[in-house]
Amino acid sequence: MQLTEPAQLTGKVVHWRDDKGFGFVVPDSVVPDNDTQQLFFHIRDFTDSKIRPAEGCRLQFSLGKDKQGRPIACQLKVVDAPAKATVLTDPKLIDLDYTQDVALYFRCAFLVLVVIALLFGTLPYVLPILYIEASLFTYWLYRADKAAAIARQRQRLPEQSLQLFSLIGGWPGALLAQKKLSHKKRKFLFQREFLLVIIGNGILLLWLLSQHGQLFLGRLALWS
């Protein structure tokens, strides 16, 4: 029995989010079970990993289905790009080695600040500053990892590293990044760990601000 390849369709890109790596294409012919007459597509489904589409481009694609059984465009290929549209064939690569080096320096500096605050008995007063710094840096890490995902780089930031920065106080920045960048929010296992990280950080914060926590911090302080 000879297997037949899925029928190839064509259509025009009417919306593209380069920062998020997805868009919508309007097929030239009617697609069954498609009420909106637009098909979702993702950058990961292009046959050429260096191609990045733009609004106005014409695509050749096959029909597929998402997890909810809705029709989507897959096995994508750019077949025509009007002059007003730009097709990026060389996406900017993200230097994640540099990002991880900066993350290491930040962890060291963060630890030093915490130790100094403990020794001087000022940790409760500098906690808001530490949370803001950790959140800003965590958001930056999410953005770098999202950019690497859009560029389809093999190297990515370890998920444990993202969770670690959330644990030390950067979870508000991580929560904002997940919402604004649409990154990691659909991964069930990651979200489960992220919830535990928030709970763990919250318990630690409440304990530090409690009477028992204050007594413990007072014993650690050498100069207060």
Between CA 39 and CA 8 the distance in angstroms is 14
Number of domains making up the chain: 2
Q: How far is CA 148 from CA 93, 107, 213, in A?
A: 7, 22, 41
Chain segment 176-221, per-residue pLDDT in tens: 999 999 999 888 999 999 999 999 999 999 999 999 999 998 888 8
Tokens of 174: 């991580």
Residue 73 and residue 130 in one domain:
no
Contacts of range 31-39, beta carbons closer than 8 Å, 24 or more positions apart: 31/63, 31/71, 32/71, 33/70, 33/71, 34/70, 34/71, 38/14, 39/11, 39/63, 39/71, 39/72, 39/73
Residue 88 inside a domain? The answer is no
Residue 137 and residue 183 in one domain:
yes
Last residue in a domain, options 52, 80, 108? 80
Confidence of residue 19 (pLDDT cuts 50, 70, 90): confident
Between CA 168 and CA 166 the distance in angstroms is 6
Residue 105 and residue 211 in one domain:
yes
Chain segment 84-114, per-residue pLDDT in tens: 555 555 556 788 899 999 999 999 999 999 9
* pLDDT average, residue stretch 35-39: 79
Whichever domain contains 37, its CATH number is 2.40.50.140
Residue 156 inside a domain? The answer is yes
More confident residue, 37 or 139: 139
Provide φ and ψ at 122, rounded to 5°. Answer: -115, 10
Residue 1 inside a domain? The answer is no
Residue 91 inside a domain? The answer is no
Tell me the DSSP string of 109-141. Answer: HHHHHHHHHHHTT-HHHHHHHHHHHHHHHHHHH
Residue 214 and residue 103 in one domain:
yes
C-alpha dihedral sign at 207, 212, 214, 215:
negative
Residue 150 and residue 201 in one domain:
yes
pLDDT for residue 4: 46
Confidence of residue 5 (pLDDT cuts 50, 70, 90): very low
Residue 2 inside a domain? The answer is no
* pLDDT average, residue stretch 139-144: 96
pLDDT for residue 47: 82
Domain membership of residue 50 as a residue range: 9-80
Confidence of residue 52 (pLDDT cuts 50, 70, 90): confident
CB 74 within 8 A of CB 39: no
Instruction: Please count the residues of the chain.
Output: 224
Kindly tell me the burial class for residue 143, based on how many C-beta atoms sit within 10 Å of its own C-beta (0-12, 13-18, 19 or more): middle
Residue 135 and residue 169 in one domain:
yes
Does the global pTM surpass 0.75?
no
Give the range with max mean pLDDT: 56-60, 152-156, 165-169. 165-169
Residue 29 inside a domain? The answer is yes
Residue 136 inside a domain? The answer is yes
pLDDT for residue 128: 95
Provide φ and ψ at 75, rounded to 5°. Answer: 50, 55
CB 39 within 8 A of CB 31: yes
Residue 50 and residue 131 in one domain:
no
